[in-house]
Structure 1
Amino acid sequence: MADFLAAFGLVFVIEGLIFAACPGPAKRAMMSVIETPEQTLRLIGIGSAVAGLIVVWLVRWT
């Protein structure tokens, strides 16, 4: 559970830094997400989740 909370906190840190460092491009990226079809977003989400699981697996069990 501690690892999960640490990872969750890091998500907030990274997103906060992105919005603090370059708010204009971040807003444009959000507008792009709104215009992207749901099926494309779903595929990107699944791909990102799988990539994240692979990274965690490589870091923790190798």
Structure 2
Amino acid sequence: MSIKWYDNDTDTFFEEGHRVTWFGDENETEGELKMIGEKTFAVQWEDGSYIEYPNDHQEAIKKI
């Protein structure tokens, strides 16, 4: 079962596999949402880094 979240500000659902960017990133770093868990989510960034974030950082991710 895939967990997803909803962003009220952009009226957007986020699911695993969606392309995302870090909101406010001047370099517009892009990545793929690899995992959404109950307490964390993870992004595989275009530079090859795989980073897990706590769910309270979801507002920093925007779908592209």
Same fold (TM over 0.5): no
Q: TM-score, normalised on structure 2?
A: 0.22
Q: Which has the higher strand share?
A: 2
Q: Which has the higher helix share?
A: 1
Between 1 and 2, higher relative CO (CA 8 Å, sep ≥ 6) is seen in 2
Q: TM-score, normalised on structure 1?
A: 0.22
Look at both structures and tell me which one has the larger radius of gyration over its CA atoms: 1
